[in-house]
Amino acid sequence: MKRMNKGVKHNIIENMMKQLEDYSSHLEELVEERTAELGEEKKKTESLLMRMLPPSVAKLLLANKKIIPESFDNCTIYFSDICGFTTIAHSSTPMQVVDFLNDLYTCFDAIIEQYDVYKVETIGDAYMVSSGIPK
């Protein structure tokens, strides 16, 4: 009888240890997955900051450095919108619209590279740039 009890206890302990090992392994996998997901989100956040803010400001933010507000006496904000774009888009195929905007913004980008201009963003037919502020 003692041998049987010892065997049962041993099996219970082995089962509990196996369950703990499985649980621990599963938790490790979850931590690895979540860490990878966190890394992906961090990259997306950094990319978004670099697109939305001047790189000098974005780098300070990413380095957790203090950003001191600055004042600029001579700066320009340019915002363009294509007149009649909705009509143009309705009478064109989606690919024609994409090609048109791509050609237009490629041309704009080539021009602004020659000057002290920072492209803030492009959304649809809207193009926004600034000059006279940090890049």
In which domain, by residue range, is 13 found?
A: 1-69
Residue 113 — left, alpha, or beta (φ > 0 → left; ψ -120 to 50 → alpha)? alpha
**Which residue among 69, 88, 120 closes a domain?**
69
Residues 82, 55, single domain; the answer is no
Give pTM, 2 decimals.
0.54
Domain final position from 44, 69, 94: 69
Do 31 and 16 sit in the same domain of this protein?
Answer: yes
Instruction: Check whether residue 2 and residue 55 sit in a common domain.
Output: yes
Each residue's pLDDT tens digit in the chain (135 positions)?
A: 445 555 555 688 888 899 999 999 999 999 999 999 999 999 999 999 888 787 888 899 999 999 888 888 889 999 999 999 999 999 999 999 999 999 999 999 999 999 989 888 899 899 999 998 866
The residue type at 92: S
Q: Where among 69, 92, 113 does a domain terminate?
A: 69
